[in-house]
A and B are shown apart, each in its own frame.
Chain A
Amino acid sequence: MTLASIKGVRIRAVSVCVPQRCKRNADDPYISEQERELLIRTTGVEERRIAATGLTTADLCEVAARELLLDQEVDPHSIDIIVLVTQSGDYTLPASAIILQDRLGLRQDVMAFDVGLGCSGYVYGLSIVAGLMQSMGLRRGLLLAGDVSSVSCSPTDKSAYPLFGDAGSATLLEHDEAAAEMHFSLFSDGAGYQAIMIPDGGARHNFSESSLAAISVAPGVTRNRTQLALDGMAVFSFATSRVPKSIIEILNQQGLAAINIDYFVMHQANKIMNEAVRKKSGFSPEQTPYSLARFGNTSSASIPLTLVSSLAEVLLGRAVTLLLSGFGVGLSWGNALVQVGGLRCLPLIEVDDDGRKV
Chain B
Amino acid sequence: MDINQFIEKLEIEFEEVESGSMTPDTVFVEMKEWCSLYALIVMALVSTEFDIDLSGDDLLNISTVSDLFELIQRRKTS
Contacts and interface: CB of A to CB of B under 8 A. Distances in A.
Given A272-B44, A279-B48, A233 B56 contact: yes
Contacts of A110: none
A41 B44 CA distance: 14
Interface in B27-63: 35-37, 39-41, 43-44, 47-48, 51, 53-56, 59
Contact of A280 (B36, B40, B41, B48): B48
12 contacts: A38-B15, A38-B16, A42-B41, A159-B36, A231-B56, A233-B39, A233-B40, A233-B59, A236-B43, A236-B44, A240-B44, A275-B44
B56 A41 contact: no
Given A240-B43, A272-B44, A280-B48, A42 B37 contact: yes
Interface in A15-73: 34-35, 38-39, 41-43
A317 interface: no
Contacts of A159: 36
B15 A237 contact: no
A161 B53 CA distance: 26
A272 B48 contact: no
A159 B35 CA distance: 11
A275 to B, nearest CB: 7
Interface class of chain B by DSSP: helix
Contacts, number: 54
Nearest to B15: A41
A218 interface: yes
Nearest to B49: A279
B36 A272 contact: no
Contacts of A43: 37
Contacts of B37: 38-39, 42-43
Contacts of A232: 36, 40
Nearest to B43: A236
Contact of B35 (A35, A41, A234, A272): A35
Given A237-B53, A279-B48, A38 B35 contact: yes
A224 B50 CA distance: 38
A34 B48 CA distance: 26
A311 interface: no
Interface in A257-301: 272-273, 275-276, 279-280
